[in-house]
Amino acid sequence: MSGQQSLGPAHEYFRDAWQRSILFLDVLRQRGNIYREQQEKSAPNVLEFAAELVLDGRTLPRPVNYLLVSIVPPEGVTVDNCKRPFVVVDPRAGHGPGIGGMKRDSEIGVALGNGHPCYFIGFLPEPISDQTIEDVWNAEAAFVQEVARRHPGAGRPAVIGNCQAGWQTMIMAATHPDVPGPLLIAGAPLSYWAGVRGKNPMRYTGGMLGGTWLTSLSGDLGGGKFDGANLVANFESLNPANTYFEKPYNVYSKVDTEAERFLDFETWWGSPVLMNAGEMQWIADNLFVGNKLTSGDLRTSDGTQIDLRNIQSPIVVFCSWGDDITPPQQALGWVTDIYRDDEDLIASGQTIIYSVHGSVGHLGIFVSGKIATREHGEFTSSMDMIDMMPPGLYEVVIEDIADDTANRALISGDYLFRLVPRKLDDVRALGGNSAEDDLKFATVDRISTINRRLYESYLGPFVRSVTPPAFGEWARKMHPNRVRFSIFSDENPAMGFVAASAERIRGQREAAGEQNMLSASEKTMAASISATLTAFGAARDALTEQLFHLTYGSPLLQALVGLDSREVEAGRRPEREALREQAKAKRREELETKYEAGGAVEAALRSIAYIRMGDGSVDERGYAMIKQLHDAQPAGRQRTLAELKSIVRDQYLLLRLDEERAVSAIPKLLPRDAEERARTLRAVERIALAPGQQSPEGKRRLARIEKLFGTKAAPATRKEETDARA
């Protein structure tokens, strides 16, 4: 009897393991078939939403393989074409397009859910033969212009750039500053050398490979094309535990419930696209290794400097501590690279807003999948508020709404969106390189240039001469990242047995109980394997880091390539330009004439800015009140939102330049009519008090403003009382 009992759990487990094995192989078969189907499509993507073609990049003066499509709202979702449109741009970083709209709760779904028209910029698997990265960002500008043309009066389109599309969008905005509206840069590397010791091993890759000469070799072997599967392999190598065990084991162990999710993700992950070799070389030389985006060393084909300080749109940076591909230092380090201090940022008229998630991974930043949906929802609903923020650096704080939250009717959604002023030192506190580390990365750049030129002069011509024309296509088909998909498809005759067996097993599936001793042993073994691979990855990364610092920290090597720390430090920040300094000086002169210029609107907005500067942050309730008051103005006296934005910025800068002078001049802006003055003060109080409880400093400032107005605020209207009760 005891023998039978001991065989029971074993039989139960091994039957379950066998069934899971067949079902897992069938999942791989389905994945292989999906891969084949995707390869046969002319424009494969993983968009969850229907789309209509708006503009084909192949018809532009400089053709590119990009497309602009309009997202069709799903059933039950209504959009308002008078609202600001959103344009989502996906990265061409190895994978196919659609990740920004892969789920109903991704970036596109969130924008649609807030009633905004939504557009998507994707791409085809094959590039146009002579297209360049410059052609691509110019095409993006043309696409955004077309969206703006389709929605006149709705405000310039908000553009979301994911991962590699983030730096592409930033360059587009720097070279076409009058085209986009607010920018949301999600998980995008902009400062490529940045990071902290003991983490972020991907930034050492270029140095350990001797620079970008291997990129040139790959392009030559590929017949002038660079295979995106190589980029996918680089991403996968970051986490060997997940790549080689955790991801497949998760499907195997939960094959009854995880198959659909796994296949959805692998549809995107397993569809690598191609780039022209010249495109990839430009990226590797100028960004990944050269880190030239923030230094102002990049030029367009006509010699125009690419300077991120030219961007006129507010910039929202969304990054995460859980992102091992684009850590916060690489997403935000550009801010301290290009601006000397806080006054330099503000004088440049730039508004930069950032949010650092605590745990979401790289893909979760733009896939959302309920992890980052809260952030994307608040960014979307608050984009008009963001567009009106005065220059400066702000951090996003998203709070749950409490039962005693004041003026809940002014809050859109389920959370309160606040912007807290920050300083450049807050970004520096996230961590970064020392001057010695920057010198090492600069040495890598020099070594890379030398090696690439040696390759181009001597080895490259030989490689191109002996490489058969069809070799590149054959190499792409045989790439491990493709073979692992195709080998399990129905093209493999053995998979017919798997499909038939899986069908039978589903009809008689019997999973082992959770209390089964062997099932518990399996999980223990799996945890051990995962821990071993994790330890291997950590040891590999630590060794790589040590070798990097030992090699490129050599004073002899640095001297041989002609570098010293002073040269590197001076070259990290864009040069101070006489014309830019003159423009700042002229702007200051213009502001000097505006202290006593204007009327009730200027007085009200200056008063509000003065009060809020005392409280230290702003939230969506104040903007909602401004919007209500704006919409309630008679048609003949109503300022446009663009005019209000300009006035808000001017009043804020006046306070920054000389707060006492700006405040003392408020009475000179007020209307003589006492009743109108009382109504203006009432509007100031409503907006200032919209967030609820004030700080002592905020109360002091409000009391001073009331004294300067020289009257009591007008009583609340019946509508205001109704709104307050609501």
At 422, is the secondary structure helix, strand, or coil? strand
Distance CA 96, CA 590 (A): 49
**Which of these ranges, 114-128, 184-198, 373-387, 562-576, has the smallest mean pLDDT?**
562-576
Q: Is the pLDDT of residue 725 over 70?
A: no
The answer to whether position 269 is within a domain reads no
Report residue 668 CA to chain centroid gap: 45
The answer to whether position 249 is within a domain reads no
Domain C-terminal end among 543, 571, 599: 571
Q: Are residues 454 and 593 located together in one domain of the fold? A: no
pLDDT of residue 558: 93
The mean of the pLDDT values for the chain is 89
**Which of these ranges, 304-318, 447-461, 531-545, 672-686, has the smallest mean pLDDT?**
672-686
Q: Is the pLDDT of residue 118 over 80?
A: yes
What domain range includes position 662?
578-725
Q: Are residues 95 and 142 located together in one domain of the fold? A: yes
Which residues sit opposite 159 in a β-bridge? 87, 183
Q: Is the pLDDT of residue 287 over 50?
A: yes
Model-level pTM? 0.91
Q: Of 477 and 408, which is predicted with more confidence?
A: 477
Q: Decide: residue 411, CB within 10 A, 0-12 exposed, 13-18 middle, 19+ buried.
A: buried
> Model confidence over 496-507: pLDDT tens digits?
999 999 999 999
Question: What is the DSSP track for 608-658?
Answer: HHHHHHHH--EEHHHHHHHHHHHHHS-TTTPPPHHHHHHHHHHHHHHHHH-
Q: Is the pLDDT of residue 726 over 70?
A: no
Q: Are residues 506 and 600 located together in one domain of the fold? A: no
Which residues sit opposite 351 in a β-bridge? 392
| H helix intervals, 254-372 | 255-269, 277-283, 328-338, 342-347, 362-367
> Model confidence over 225-236: pLDDT tens digits?
999 999 999 888
Question: For residue 396, what is the domain's CATH number?
Answer: 3.40.50.1820
Q: Are residues 564 and 586 located together in one domain of the fold? A: no
Exposure pattern of 251-272 as b/e (b: 16+ CB <10 Å)?
bbbebeebbeebbebbbbbbbb
**Which of these ranges, 85-99, 106-120, 484-498, 610-624, has the smallest mean pLDDT?**
610-624
Domain C-terminal end among 428, 456, 485: 428
Structure tokens at 118: 């939504």
The answer to whether position 648 is within a domain reads yes
Tally the domains of the chain: 3
Segment 510-536 shows an average pLDDT of 93
198: phi then psi, degrees, rounded to nearest 5: 85, -5
Which residue in this structure is represented by tokens 């053995």? 494
Which residues sit opposite 619 in a β-bridge? 418
Question: What is the DSSP track for 183-218?
Answer: EEEES---STT---TTS-GGGGHHHHTTSSHHHHHH
Structure tokens at 716: 């609340």
Q: Of 631 and 65, which is predicted with more confidence?
A: 65
Q: Are residues 300 and 189 located together in one domain of the fold? A: yes
Domain C-terminal end among 571, 586, 606: 571
pLDDT of residue 103: 78
